[in-house]
Structure formats: C-alpha cells, structure tokens
C-alpha cells in the first residue's frame, strides 16, 4: 500500500523544524512527500529543501476558492498518486506509528477515511500550554464513555473514495463535510483515539476559537446547545461568540493558513 503525504505550508518556519524531523523518522514508510507552499514569504521553502531535497514542492501564490486551507489541501491531493493520501499540518509532531496504523485500517476495503487524535502542546505560551493539558485530559476521559467517531481534521483517505465522492468542498470546515459525504455514499469513517501526535498550535487563541464557532454554525450536526456546551466545557468562550455571530449576521470566515 502506497501512502502519499500532503502538507500545505504558509510561513511555518517556526514549526517546520519539529514537524519535518518527525516526518523524517518515517520517510522510508512513505511513497511520496508533497508540500504546497502557499504564499510563503519566509524561509519555509529552504527549510523543507534542506531536509527533503527530493520531495515534491509546489508554489501556490494565487487562490480561486474562498477558503484557502481547503484549496491548498485539495491542490496537493490532486498531485498525489498513492493508494492512500495522508493530510498533515506543518505544526504537527507526528506519531511514528501512524503509517502502520494506516496500512492496518485500510486493509478493510470499506474504509474511506480515518482521522487521528492529537494532543495540544503550545510551544510559545505557558497559559495556552496549560489550557492544552486540560483539553487533552478531558478528551482522554470522554473518549472512554463516548465511542462515536470524531472528526479531527488530521486524517488519511483512500484515493479511490475521492474518485467516487469528489474532493474537498470550498467551505470553512472542509473535513467535517467530507466525512459526512463519505458516510452518505457508504464509506466507513474511522477515528483512532490513541495516537500521540502533538499539535504545536492548538485552536485555543481567541481568533481561532471564533473561526471554529463560525464553522460550526454551517454544519448541521452542531446545534446551538451542543456548541454552548462545547464552549463551556473546553473553556472556549469565543467559539460560542463566533457561532452566534454567524447565526445573527451570516458571517462566513475565509482566509489563509495563518
């Protein structure tokens, strides 16, 4: 089974030393590495070339979609030729066991996509690091009692499935919609609750909470009550504000990978 990796990059030089080193440890288990350099103005390209001189690098300086994250991922997906495509962020320290997990899970030919748990670990803010520890503990506990599949946005998918259902949509929370469409078309969506990937830039800042709240308003399975509870239990007040602003004013967030 051939696994291709797709990583969009937008001015990520602070995080690339960590993510690239973790990717280097599993390079032999992967078929192709694809990096999409999305309007980079920093030293990200050189850092990638220093570690992976033979990787596929694509420069993307223009956008036609409203939501740049979805467009950059899809641009990379279109370049992939492997049996399975693994979408990763430039701010992740990867669990080295994931390629083996991918091969095991996708032995079931009905599995279309699988997403993985990650742990929050902010590099630069002590307060956000504490918030991340709380969030990690909460998720670990709740997963023991609620077994339903979750969508983390850190995932791999069968390329054959995309040929069946189509790629990402130009919306604010593209992977949630992608999973719903996969299920609707008869594909299994699997969540792996035990992987140990670190997310170095967790969705805990006020700006990121707000965008996440806006995204939830446009997804049918996130009700007002469910969003309010999530905002309270995860200590994310701005998430609920974003949801309510989208509900009241019709706000649709777009933008880059920042």
Single out the residue of 73, 257, 250 nearest to residue 174, CA to CA: 73
What predicted TM-score, i.e. pTM, was given to this entire model? 0.82
Boundaries of every domain in the chain: 3-204, 205-258
Tell me what pLDDT residue 241 has: 86
Neighbours of 163 (CB within 10 A): 9
Tell me what pLDDT residue 258 has: 35
Tell me what pLDDT residue 246 has: 83
Give the mean pLDDT per block of 10 residues along the chain (258 residues): 97 96 97 96 96 96 91 96 96 97 97 93 84 78 65 90 95 85 95 93 70 74 79 78 82 48
Tell me what pLDDT residue 43 has: 95
DSSP calls for 105-163: HTTSTTEEEEEEEEEE--SS-HHHHHHHHHHHHHHHHHTTT--S----S-EEEEHHHHH
Q: Going by DSSP bridges, is the β-strand pair 84-87/92-93 parallel, antiparallel, or unpaired? A: unpaired
The CATH classification number of 3-204 equals 3.90.550.10
């Amino acid at each position: 089974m051939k696994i291709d990796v797709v990583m969009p990059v937008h001015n990520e030089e602070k995080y690339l030393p960590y993510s690239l080193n973790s990717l280097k440890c599993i390079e032999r288990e992967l078929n192709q590495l694809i990096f999409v350099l999305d309007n980079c103005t920093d030293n990200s390209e050189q850092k990638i070339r220093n570690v992976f001189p033979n990787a596929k690098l694509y420069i993307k300086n223009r956008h036609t979609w409203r939501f740049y994250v979805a467009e950059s991922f899809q641009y990379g997906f279109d370049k992939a030729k492997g049996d399975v495509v693994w979408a990763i962020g430039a701010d992740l320290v990867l669990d080295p066991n994931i390629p083996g997990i991918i091969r095991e899970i996708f032995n079931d030919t009905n599995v279309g996509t699988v997403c993985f748990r990650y742990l929050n670990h902010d590099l630069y803010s002590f307060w956000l690091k504490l918030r991340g520890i709380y969030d990690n503990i909460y998720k670990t506990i709740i997963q023991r009692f609620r077994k339903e599949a979750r969508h983390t946005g850190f995932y791999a998918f069968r390329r054959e499935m995309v040929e069946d259902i189509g790629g990402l949509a130009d919306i604010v929370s593209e992977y949630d919609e992608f999973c719903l469409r996969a299920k609707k078309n008869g594909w299994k969506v699997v969540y792996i609750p035990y992987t140990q990937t670190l997310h170095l830039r967790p969705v805990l800042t006020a700006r990121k909470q707000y965008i996440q709240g806006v995204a939830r308003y446009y997804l049918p399975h996130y009700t007002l009550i469910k969003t309010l509870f999530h905002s309270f239990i995860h200590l994310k007040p701005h998430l609920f504000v974003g949801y309510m602003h989208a509900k009241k004013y019709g706000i649709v967030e777009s933008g880059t990978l920042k």
